Chains A and B, each alone.
Chain A
Amino acid sequence: MNGFLSPEEWTAIGLSLKVSSVATLVSLPVGIAMAMLLARGRFFGRTLLDGLVHLPLVMPPVVTGYLLLLAFGRKGPLGAFFEHTFGLVFAFRWTGAALACGVMGFPLMVRAIRLSIESIDHKLEQAASTLGAGRALVFLTVTLPLALPGILAGVVLSFARALGEFGATITFVSNIPGQTQTMPSAIYALIQTPDGDAAALRLTAISIAISLAALVLSEFLARRVTRGGAA
């Protein structure tokens, strides 16, 4: 296999998988909380919050990337906060790529989870509470398991979006091989170089293969979850 792909190409693939996985896993708890809030919360400004969550879906990715750069760059207010408090730097690092990917995939994830939470019969949660469960336990033992198909769908959508994310990432963290050069950035760079066609095609094929594998895996998991109980 090593002969098939150059070390740079392997790096891009590895980085892409790492960035997408981290982006998806870190945004998952936040996504579940946000979906729960939007599905069940009754508070002032819910529509506004809903709009904000959906913004990255409708804004040009370059705009999202630029806003991230302003906020999370080393001189940005949030970037400075994270650097001082946690020693976490986003600018021109793979962590920044993961942040950009997570933000871009967030609306899709929240949407899928929210829909499945909304479809859960609230009466089941009431039944759980009459059996002695407090709110946290009702959520953990009834809401969460019943929302599992939606959570799975949200994870797959967000992961796929992260894998393909280009505009926001390149705007926010540039295109540094080994650091922020994910597959789409690598393909883009290869197309710009005179002899890059063959390599670009190879990465394209890998891209398709990973996407397909993710789809098949999610289909398989969704079927197992459904068979396991949730109707």
Chain B
Amino acid sequence: MTLSIAIRQQLGPFSLDVALETGPGVTALFGRSGSGKTSLVNLVAGLSRPDQGRIVLDGRTLVDTERSIFVPAGKRRIGYVFQEGRLFPHLSVRSNLLYGRWLTPQARRWGGLDEVVDLLGIGALMARMPRDLSGGEKQRVAIGRALLSSPDCLLMDEPLAALDRERKAEILPFIERLRDAKRLPIVYVSHSVEEVARLADTVALIEAGRVAAIGPVGEVFARLDAIGEWEAGAVLEATVLAQDPEAGVTRLDHPAGSLVVPSIDAPIGKRLRIRIRARDVTLAVGEPGRLSVRNRLRAEIVSIGEGRGHDVGIRLSVGGEPMLARVTRDAVRDLELVPGLAVIALVKAVALDGI
């Protein structure tokens, strides 16, 4: 299932000029607010028309300005989860959920009401009206409503942006389950590095209406130029090894060493993504002594950047995966860091408080 987009649209002084292709799994459109991410998904959903271009979903042409094709939103079979939920205020949760399903021909339906309700944990809300729901509950119902219209592709526009930290933590696992349980391509719009690192397989970095970079999440997020020095870092894949609720931590296994992170609600054996920001990494040459730092990964220096200021970015390889560290130039000189040198990368567990 691929979604291929090549469009141009002029919106006042702002121009959108995007060409990209998404594969299965979650593709994140990542960028600052105002970079054109929402305009782009609105074009895909059919809520606006491009001046020029084509949008093709799995061989089905949705828009082609040259051939004057424009499939209206209602016929695109694309689910859309909006930032503000947009539940129908005059309908109960149950009727909201069934709205799209009722409009979907029997033969094309997938996933039952019970299944979706279970997946999202909204069974107890069915009889309520939207105004009696919390922000997190509204968003889960909105996701369920979009799913029950049996879409070929799901668009999510900052579905967590309006929620506080706890509500986010409440919903993220549902989206992860959705990603893993359904082979449904998801286009996920966000400006949050944490969300994207955790959910996305592919990241398209959107800047001023253009695709500035696109690739696997680990690659794009390791590019200092792409996401800025402050947020750049590595995204490592690790497996849940053990839960230690007493200490409030989860232990993860990674080829370069084990990792300790603040508790993550996930079963043992589950693969997770952990983002480690370059600025949170400390380098040690030789085995360090007794330290409070929980995470020690065996790494090799790949290259040392040329910084003009007080610090430089260092590219590392941990078990074959790229990782970034940001250290002072003073430290580079003092520790005699050079490419090829084996080092220990230290990361405080508390710095890995993902979301």
Q: Chain A: residues with CB nearer than 8 A to chain B? A: 121, 123-124, 126-134, 137-138, 141-142, 145-146, 228-231
Contacts and interface: CB of A to CB of B under 8 A. Distances in A.
A128 B146 CA distance: 10
B150 to A, nearest CB: 9
Nearest to A148: B90
15 contacts: A126-B47, A127-B80, A127-B88, A130-B78, A131-B79, A131-B99, A131-B100, A131-B146, A131-B149, A132-B74, A132-B103, A133-B103, A141-B99, A228-B90, A229-B91
B100 to A, nearest CB: 3
Given A126-B73, A134-B74, A146 B82 contact: no
Interface string B35-67: 000000000011100000000000000000000
Name B's interface SS: loop
Contacts of A228: 90
B72 interface: yes
A137 B75 CA distance: 13
B89 interface: yes
A195 to B, nearest CB: 55
A41 to B, nearest CB: 18
A146 B104 contact: no
Given A128-B88, A146-B89, 12 more contacts: A121-B86, A126-B86, A130-B73, A132-B74, A132-B75, A132-B100, A133-B74, A134-B74, A137-B103, A138-B74, A146-B90, A229-B129
B109 to A, nearest CB: 11
Contacts of B90: 145-146, 228-230
What are the nearest 10 A-B pairs in CB distance? A229-B90, A131-B100, A132-B103, A127-B86, A130-B80, A129-B73, A145-B90, A131-B149, A129-B74, A230-B90
A132 to B, nearest CB: 4
Contacts of B73: 126, 129-130
A40 to B, nearest CB: 15
Interface residues of B, number: 28
Contact of B99 (A123, A128, A145): A128
Contacts of A130: 45-47, 73-74, 76, 78-80, 146, 149
Contacts of B315: none
A12 B145 CA distance: 54
Interface string B134-166: 000000000001100100000000000000000
Contacts of B75: 132
B84 interface: yes
B131 interface: yes
Contacts of A141: 99
A214 to B, nearest CB: 25
B47 A129 contact: yes
Interface string B4-43: 0000000000000000000000000000000000000000
B189 to A, nearest CB: 14
Nearest to B76: A130
A55 to B, nearest CB: 34
Contacts of A142: 88
Contacts of B78: 130
Contacts of A127: 80, 82, 86, 88
A129 B72 contact: yes
Contacts of B100: 131-132
A231 B89 contact: yes
B89 A229 contact: yes
A131 B142 CA distance: 11
Contacts of B82: 123, 127
Nearest to A129: B73
Contact of A231 (B79, B91, B131, B146): B131
A124 B86 contact: yes
A141 B76 CA distance: 19
A22 to B, nearest CB: 29
A145 to B, nearest CB: 5
Contacts of B77: 132
A72 B275 CA distance: 78
Contacts of B146: 130-131
A138 B46 CA distance: 15
Contacts of A137: 74, 103
A50 to B, nearest CB: 27
A138 B90 CA distance: 13
A88 to B, nearest CB: 38
